Chain A
Amino acid sequence: MSRRGRIGAKMGSELVRSAALAGAIALTVTAYPSRGNAQSLLAADGLGLLSEPLDARSRALGGAGIGLSGSYLTERDPAASAGLLLSTATMTFQTGASSIEGGETAGHTRFPNIGVSYPYGGNVFAVRVASFLDQEWEAVSEQTLDIGGRSVNSVDRFRSTGGIARVTVGWSRQIVQSLSAGVTFGTYAGTTRRTFSRSLDPETVGSGVEAFTSGLRLQASGIVVGAGLGWDPIPLVHVAGAFTWSDDLKLSPSEGTAGREGVYRMPLELRGGGTVTLTSGLALHLGVTYADWSDTGADLAVGTTRDSAWSYGGGLEWSGGTLLGRTVPIRIGARHRDLPFDSNGDRATERSLSGGLGFDLVETETLPLARLEFGVERGSRKAGPLTEDYWRTTASVRVAAG
C-alpha cells in the first residue's frame, strides 16, 4: 500500500468526528468571554483598519504569517502550502472586543483566513479568501440646529459597514528538498456601505418628521499578485520571503447608488520571516512586514498615511508537551505594528502580547490530519489621544484528506 493509501485508510470516521469536535471547541473558546473581533475606531481612518489574514498559530507567535515551520495554507506565505501532500481545508475564526477609552466596548467576528488546497503531480493548487481592510465603524453626533429660527435637537449618525478581502488562487511546489516556491493571483472583493442619517426631534419640529438618509455602496475590485519562497538553509532553520503587488484598489458605486469611483494606489508589501529550532521541541520564530503607503495617502479624499509602515514580532514555540497522547505545542509571542492610516493626523500603532496552543486531533506518523490552533492576544492601539485596548481570540481549524 502506498503512503497516501495508508493515510487514507486511517482517516474515515475518526477524522470527521475530530473535525467536528475541533470546530465545536474552537467555537466555544472563541465565543467566550467576549464576542466580536477586536474592532477599532481606527477603521474610520483612510481606507479602514488593516486586517491581517493571520491564523491562530501566527497570532500566538506574534508573527507576520510567514516563515513558520511546517506546511500551512495562508495568503501571506504562498510557498508554505508546497508541502501539503493531502487535500486540505483551513478556516480561521476570530472574535474579540475593543475597549475604547471614554467610549463603549465593541465586538465583532471575522473569518480572516479561509483556504482550500489540492495537490496534484507534485504541485499544490489553492484557493484562499483573506481579509484585508476592516471598515466597520460608526460615529454619532448630537447637536442643536437652528432651523427656521427654532432650536432643534438632532442626531447625526454615520455608519460604515463591510470590508475588503482578497480572493486568490495559488500554485506552489517544492523546487528541491529545501526550497519551495509559490505564487498567487487574485482580486479584491467585498462591499462597503457608507450611510449617513440625520434625525430631528419631533417635539420641536412636528409630528411625522422623517430621518434624512443618504448612502453609498462601494464594490471593491483590483488585481492582486503575490509570490514567495521558502528555504531551509540548514536542517534547523527555515526562512521565507514573499511580496504582494497590487494594482489600484477600485471602490466603485454599486448599481443604483450615486457617487464617484475611488481609485487608490496600493503599496508593494514585503514580508519575511523564519524559524530557528533552538533545542529539541523549542523553536524561535520572527517575522517582519514592510509597506510604503505614501501613494495611497495621496489618493485619499480625507486623511494621511505613513510613508513606511513596519510590522514585526516574534515568539517561542515549545512542542514538548503532550495531552491525552497528542502533541500540544505551547506558544508565546509579542508584536508591534504600524497602522498605515493616520487618525486625525496622529500616527497609529498597535502592540500586543500573545499566547496559544495547538492540538493535533488526528495524525499519522508524519502528518497531522486534523489540527486545531488557538491564539489569544491582549493588545492596545494608540493614535494621539485615542487609545484602545483589546482582547482577540483566534481559532484555526485544519483538516486534510486524501
Chain B
Amino acid sequence: MWFLATIAVAVGSGCADAVPTSSDGGRIPVDAETIEVRLPFSSFARDYQILSGFQSPAEVPTLTIAHEWAGELESRPVIRFGSLPDVVNVIPPGSTTGAQPDSMFQPVSGKVILRLDTLGLGEQRFELEADAILTPWHSETVSWELAADTLGGRLPWPEPGGGPVRPVDSATWFPIVADSVVFDIDSLTVTEWADADLPDRGLRVRTTTPGSRLSVRRLDLRVMVRSEINPDTLIQISANPGRATFIYTPTPLVSDTVLMVGGAPAARALFRIELPETVDPGPEACARVSCPVSLSADRLLFASLALRTFPTLSPGFAPVDSVAVQVRPVLAPPRLPRSPLSAPIQVAGPPLPPEWFSTEPQTPYEIGMTNYFRSLIQPDTTRGPGPSSTLAILADPEPSGLDVISFFGPGSEAAPELRLILTVTDGVSIP
C-alpha cells in the first residue's frame, strides 16, 4: 500500500513538464501552405433579398425630431402618456394624525420636460412646438400617413404627419445653455392626457428649424394637482410611463444593387450560403498547392464576408452616429419574414463610423464568421443539426434608430465577397 502510494505521489510530482523546444523551423516535418481565396457573391450566395418591416419606431430607445434634415427628412415624436396616480397623500387641515389618501384631486397645470442629446449641436438654436393630437391613433402602427394600421383597418391622419393638432406650447432651445426643454400644459390638456379612455389623447412634438435633427433621450409629464381634502395644497405628481414613438417621412429608398440594413421599421439583407466543394485560389496560389483546393473545415483558418460601404440612398437616413451590424442564421427560412433568428455568429468588431456611409464610401468592412463556416462545412452532429445556411444581416441593436447603412450589393461594381484563408498540407507524417 505504501509502495503504491509512493508511486502515485511520484507520478503526480512529475506532471509539470517542459518540452525541449527548437526555434529551427527546418525541424518541422510538415509542409504547409496558407492561401487566400476570394469567392464572388454569385458563387456562394443564393436567394438574396432585402426585407423590410422588422420592429417599429416604437421600439427605438430614442425619439427623433427632424425638419428638412438633409433636405428631406421630417420626423415628429408622438407620445401617449400613462395615467396619473390614483391617489395622492395629503395632510388634512388641522390634522395631527398624518397624511390621508386623496383620489379626488384635480389637475391644475402640467409640464412636459424633454431631455435632448446636445452632442455636436454647438451654438445653434431650435424652435420646438408641442401640440395636442386630436385624432385617435395606435402607438404600435402609427406612421406619417396612417394614424393606425391594424388588422381592424387602416386609419389615415386627416393631415399627414399627425394632424390636425391643437397647439399647446412652443419653446426655443439653446443646446449650449440647457439639455432640456419645458412645455407648459394647461389643465384641460392635462386632464385629457390623463384619461386613459380617450384614444385621441397624446402629444406631438415638432421642430420648425430647417435642417435640424434632434434626439430625445427622455420625456416626462409632471402635473400640478389640487387636493380636495386640502384645497390650499398643490402637489406635483408624474404621469405613469406611456408609449412614445415617432412618425417620419419619406420612406428610405431601396435598390436591388444595394445591400441595406437598419432603419425603423428595419431592413435586413438575407441570403442562403451554398459553398462550392472546391475553390480555385488563382494561378499564383496554384503554383504552391494542388488546384482546385478542396474546401474542408480543418483547412479553414478564416472566413469573412467582405463588404464595401455605399452612400445611403436617402441622405436623410444616413447614420449620424456609429452603428453596428450583426449576422444571424435564419432558423426557419420557409417562414420568412417571420422566421426566428439564431444567435449572432459574427465576431464582434468595432462599430462602423457614420462617415463611411457619406463622405468615405467604398470603405472595406469585413464580418468575420470563421466558426460558422467551419460548422457549416462540417457540422458537429453531437450537438444536433448543423447551423442554418440562410443568413440575415441586420442592425445591432435592431431597431437602433432611423439610420440606414448600405453596402455595395450583388451585381454592383464592388459586390460582397467571401474571403477565405486556407492552409493546405499533406498532413502530419510519420517519422
Q: Flag whether A347 is at the interface (Cβ < 8 A).
A: no
Which of B28-36, B54-62, B130-138 forms contacts with chain A? B28-36
Quote the shortest CB–CB distance from A239 to chain B (angstroms). 32
State the CA gap A289–B301 with chains docked (Å): 49
Please determine whether A141 and B370 come into contact, CB atoms closer than 8 angstroms: no
Contacts A44-B22, A91-B7, A214-B427 given: A139-B2 contact, CB under 8 Å? no
A154 sits at the interface (CB 8 A): yes
A residues less than 8 Å from B3 (CB atoms): 16, 19-20, 23, 89, 397, 399
Q: Distance (Å) between the CB of A303 and the closest chain B CB?
A: 8
Kindly identify, within residues 113 to 152 of chain A, every residue whose CB is under 8 Å from any CB belonging to chain B: 136-143, 145, 147-149, 152
Verify A212–B18 contact, CB threshold 8 A. no
- Interchain CB contact under 8 A, A209 and B14: no
Interface residues of B in 277-297 (CB under 8 A from A): none
Q: At the interface, is chain B mostly helix, strand, loop or mixed?
A: mixed
Write out the residue numbers on chain A whose beta carbons fall within 8 Å of the beta carbon of B7: 23, 91
**In this assembly, does B149 line the interface, its C-beta being within 8 Å of a C-beta of chain A?**
no
- A302 interfacial by beta-carbon distance below 8 Å: yes
Contacts A/B (CB < 8 Å), 10 sampled:
A16-B3, A41-B21, A41-B22, A108-B14, A147-B35, A198-B301, A200-B421, A206-B304, A210-B371, A344-B26
The reply to whether A23 and B428 contact each other, CB–CB distance below 8 Å, is no
Contact status A209-B302, CB under 8 Å: yes
* Bound CA span A210–B19, Å: 24
A residues lining the B interface (CB < 8 Å): 16-17, 19-20, 22-24, 26-27, 31, 35-36, 39-41, 43-44, 46-48, 89, 91, 93, 95, 98, 100, 103-111, 136-143, 145, 147-149, 152, 154, 156, 158-159, 161, 194-196, 198, 200, 205-216, 218, 251, 258-262, 264, 300-303, 344, 397, 399
A109 and B13 in contact (CB under 8 A), knowing A19-B2, A137-B19? yes
Q: Contacts of A216 on B, CB cut-off 8 Å?
A: 427-430
CB neighbours of A195 from chain B (8 A): 428
Interface string of B361-402 (1 = CB under 8 A from A): 000001011110010000000000000000000000000000
Alpha-carbon gap, A22 to B10, bound state (A): 12
- In the complex, A63 Cα to B117 Cα: how many Å? 86
Q: Is the CB of A200 within 8 A of B425?
A: no
A139: chain B residues within 8 A (beta carbon): 21-25, 27-28
Inside 8 A of B15's CB, which chain A residues have their CB?
109
Supposing A198-B34, A214-B425 touch, asked if A159 and B430 sit within 8 A by C-beta, the answer is no
Chain A min CB distance to B421 (Å): 6
Contact of A212 among B22, B301, B304, B347 (CB under 8 A): B301
Which 4 residue pairs of A and B lie closest in terms of their CB atoms, listed nearest first? A23-B6, A109-B14, A141-B25, A148-B36
Contacts of A111 in B (CB 8 A): 10-11
The answer to whether residues A140 and B22 also contact, given A158-B27, A208-B370, A214-B427 and a CB cut-off of 8 A, is: yes
A31:B427 contact, CB within 8 angstroms? no
Question: Does the CB pair A24–B6 fall under 8 Å?
Answer: yes
**B21, A103: Cβ atoms closer than 8 Å:** yes
CA distance A94 to B371 in the complex (A): 43
B22 nearest in chain A by CB position:
A139
Contact residues in A for B23 (Cβ distance below 8 Å): 103, 139-142
CB < 8 Å neighbour of B370 from A48, A103, A210, A300: A210
Report chain A residues within 8 Å CB of B428: 194-196, 214-216, 259
**B111 close to A (CB within 8 Å):** no
Tell me, in angstroms, the Cα distance from A44 to B29 when the chains sit together: 10
Apart from A41-B21, A210-B371, list 4 A-B contacts with CB within 8 A. Answer: A36-B18, A91-B7, A141-B24, A159-B19
- Kindly state whether residue B20 has any CB partner on chain A within 8 Å: yes
- With A23-B2, A259-B430 in contact, do A137 and B302 touch (Cβ < 8 Å)? no
Separation in Å of the B204 CB from the closest CB of chain A?
Answer: 44
B178 CB within 8 Å of chain A? no
B16 within 8 A of A: yes
Residues of A within 8 A of B32 (CB): 156, 196, 198, 212
- A138–B301 CB distance below 8 A: no
* Closest beta carbon of chain B to A290's beta carbon, Å: 23
Q: Are the CB atoms of A206 and B430 closer together than 8 Å?
A: no
Whether B119 sits at the interface, judged by CB under 8 Å, is no
Distance in angstroms between the alpha carbons of A156 and B27 in the assembled complex: 11
Q: From A401, which residue of chain B is reached at the shortest CB distance?
A: B3
* Residue contact A20 to B5, C-beta cutoff 8 Å: yes
Distance in Å: Cβ of B382 to nearest Cβ of chain A: 13
Query: Please, which residues of chain A bring their CB within 8 A of the CB of B14?
Result: 35, 93, 95, 108-110
Q: Which residue of B lies closest to A261 (CB)?
A: B430
- Nearest-CB distance from B317 to chain A (Å)? 28
A210 in contact with B6 (CB, 8 Å): no
Known: A106-B18, A139-B28, A159-B19. A258 touches B427 (CB 8 A): yes
Are B27 and A212 in contact, CB atoms less than 8 angstroms apart?
no
A158 touching B301, Cβ below 8 Å: no
Q: Are A206 and B34 in contact, with the CB atoms below 8 A?
A: no
Q: Can you name the residue of chain B whose Cβ is closest to the Cβ of A154?
A: B34
Cβ of B100 within 8 Å of any chain A Cβ, yes or no, is no
Most A C-beta atoms less than 10 A away, residue of B301, B347, B421, B431: B431
Asked if residues B368 and A138 are in contact (CB atoms below 8 Å), the reply is no
Q: B5: shortest Cβ distance to chain A, in Å?
A: 7
A262 is contacted by which of B16, B21, B349, B431 (Cβ under 8 Å)? B431
Residue of A nearest to B21 (CB): A138
A208 touches B302 (CB 8 A): yes
CA distance A54 to B54 in the complex (A): 75
Partner of B302, one of A41, A210, A214: A210
Task: Say if the beta carbon of B256 comes within 8 Å of chain A.
Answer: no
Q: Is the CB of A260 within 8 A of B301?
A: no
Q: Given A139-B25, A251-B430, A399-B3, is A108 in contact with B425 using a C-beta cutoff of 8 Å?
A: no
Measured between beta carbons, the chain A residues less than 8 angstroms from B300 are 210
A138, A300, A397: most-surrounded residue (chain B CB, <10 A): A138
- Give the most central of B14, B16, B36, B304: most A CB within 10 Å: B14
Residue B298 is within 8 A (CB to CB) of chain A in the complex: yes
Closest to B366 in A: A206
Question: How long is the Cα–Cα vector from A262 to B428 in the complex, in angstroms?
Answer: 12
Task: Report the Cα distance A338→B265, complex, angstroms.
Answer: 79
Whole-angstrom CA separation of A166 from B221 in the bound complex: 86
CB atoms of A301 and B429 under 8 A apart? yes
Chain B 340-359, CB-CB to A under 8 Å as 1, else 0, gives 00000011110000000000
Chain B residues, CB < 8 A from A48 = 431
